[in-house]
A and B are shown apart, each in its own frame.
Chain A
Amino acid sequence: MRSFLFRKLKDRFMHVLMFLLAIVAIFPLASVFIYVFQQGWPALSFDFLTHDPTPVGEVGGGFANALMGSVILVAIGAAIGIPWGVSCGLYLSEYPRTKMAYVLRFTTDVMTGIPSIVVGLFVYSFVVMTMKGFSALAGGISLAIIMIPSIARTTEEILKLVPDHIREAGLALGLPRWKVIIHIVLRGSLGGVVTGLMLSIARAAGETAPLLFTAFNNRFFSTSLTEPIASLPVQIYSYAISPFADWHQQAWAGALVLVLFVFVMNLTTRIILVKRSQGHD
């Protein structure tokens, strides 16, 4: 029989260890944040946000093309992905027992695990090769493919929280099924669904690999859908691996913008979720 003291010491030791492990886990996050702010803040300026890249060595120049590009790409991705994903989520939550639902659930689970670069390869072979060139459209499509499974899953989860008796009440009043779904179930969970959408958008904004061979990159400001287009993550990537120090600076600043965007989206969704759960009881 072990001495009680030994067991107690072990218990204390394990508690301290777990606490330290938590610190170890959070430490990289803190480090990344600190460095991104420290390195990126000095390079962030009005010029940075509004100018296109200048040739290497020239002062000034910014990320305007990349910022616009990301906005366009995410917008295309959302325009395709949100309706598709939400309708999948709706279907899964309203008709969960059908054969189709099992197949669909399996497929979406599988799709969440596809490496993003493979998505890029796929869109390359079907869109870029048919269009004979890189384009913003192709990039938007690959972002949509990445967004759809996560939107579908979160929509399904949120809609499942709506209690059945609300649906039954709608049906009892004589509403057709589709009206019940859209007006009652969806309307009531709009907050939760929107937070899911925001998280997916934040994730899509940070994706790089699928854009490498779909939207490619563009040194100039472009809003055309059929031309290659710059994007924030891809530009950060190409600047980061370049040998030029001022490009590294700009890469940090771009990373700062990206991280701020993602952080704000995540924080906002948290706040919305907390407000909802407080208001619902």
Chain B
Amino acid sequence: MALLLSMVFMLLARAWPLLQITGLRFFTTLEWNPVTEEYGAAAFIYGTIVSSLLAVLIATPVSVGVALFLTEVVRGPFAKVIGFLIEMLAAVPSVVYGLWGIFVLAPFIREKIQIPVGSKFGEFFLFQGPPLGVGMLSAGIILAIMITPTITTICREVFHAISRNQREAALAIGSTRWEMMRISVLSSSRTGILGALILGLGRAMGETMAVTMVIGNRNDISFSLFAPAQTMSSIIANEYNEAQGTSHLAALAAIGFALFFVSLAINIAARFIILRVTGRSK
């Protein structure tokens, strides 16, 4: 029923960026200067990777903890309410997160985190730079909030897939509830949790609006957490409509293609892992 066009969609999505003429050096150069027509995507690749990794780093303990909480600790209506709230986290549109990020999160980070930490540890490479509020840290936090429901849902499924016998066996030999969780649930779900994390990573890399609004929009690499940055999706969102000249557009399209390709690879890998663990795809 006219659905093979979906395949065509994917194949044709590659056709456009083939206007690029720069070659592989594109991905390692730092320069991004539309005026002199020098384009290098290194800063954005760095931005995307670091912000997404940061997000996964922050989101993992929270998501896994909440998933454990929902499957092992609470029962019935309480679990339903909390589960619903977690899903509402996923339902909030990303512009709203971005709006909240600009006016609530960024000032909070600036006042409560960047200024105190900057004055004491300002020399440490992770905390260098002026307290702007927007930057890598804010982006990482907002992305973490956005991918938490994804990781939590998958982890819940993975934990559900473990048979009761495992849990009862651990309890029968005298473990406390936490030890039971550690022994029967967590250690057998390692692969599944990994799949959930990778899926979350994929989502974080593709996220555009909320990141664009809090990342600070600076086309450079800096190792500080407080520094403003730019991701692949935010540079496209920012510059596409005002791009002059075909080479600027082509460069942006090439970034889009790279983004597409990378999130595709990550999503396929994640689903493959999850499929093997739960026996069905999600």
Contacts and interface: CB of A to CB of B under 8 A. Distances in A.
A25 B177 CA distance: 22
Interface string A185-229: 000000000000000001101111100110010000000000000
Contact of A10 (B88, B176, B207): B176
A59 interface: no
B215 to A, nearest CB: 12
A69 to B, nearest CB: 14
B209 A113 contact: no
Nearest to A262: B91
A180 B94 CA distance: 41
Contacts of B103: 35, 39, 248
Contact of A22 (B6, B69, B97, B181): B69
Contacts of B62: 21, 24-25
A212 B179 contact: no
Given A251-B99, A252-B99, A115 B88 contact: no
B125 interface: no
B264 A208 contact: no
Interface in A233-271: 233, 236-237, 240-241, 248, 251-252, 255, 258-259, 262-263, 266, 270
A168 interface: no
The B contact surface, by secondary structure, is helix
A87 B202 contact: no
A263 B95 contact: no
A255 B271 CA distance: 33
B172 interface: no
Nearest to B181: A14
A26 B259 CA distance: 30
Contacts, number: 208
Contacts of B2: 84, 87
Contacts of B95: 206, 208, 233, 236-237, 240, 255, 258
Contacts of B179: 7, 11
A121 B213 contact: no
Interface stretch (B7-15, B162-170, B218-226): B7-15
- Taking residues whose C-beta sits less than 8 angstroms from the other chain, chain A's interface range is 35 or more
A32 B96 contact: yes
Contacts of B126: none
Interface stretch (A44-52, A71-79, A100-108, A169-177): A100-108
A41 interface: no
14 contacts: A11-B178, A22-B66, A22-B70, A24-B62, A25-B63, A29-B89, A87-B1, A109-B281, A114-B263, A125-B15, A207-B93, A233-B93, A240-B99, A255-B96
Interface of A: 7-8, 10-11, 14-15, 17-19, 21-22, 24-26, 28-29, 31-32, 35-36, 39, 84, 87-88, 90-91, 103-105, 107-118, 121-122, 124-126, 145, 148, 202-203, 205-209, 212-213, 216, 233, 236-237, 240-241, 248, 251-252, 255, 258-259, 262-263, 266, 270
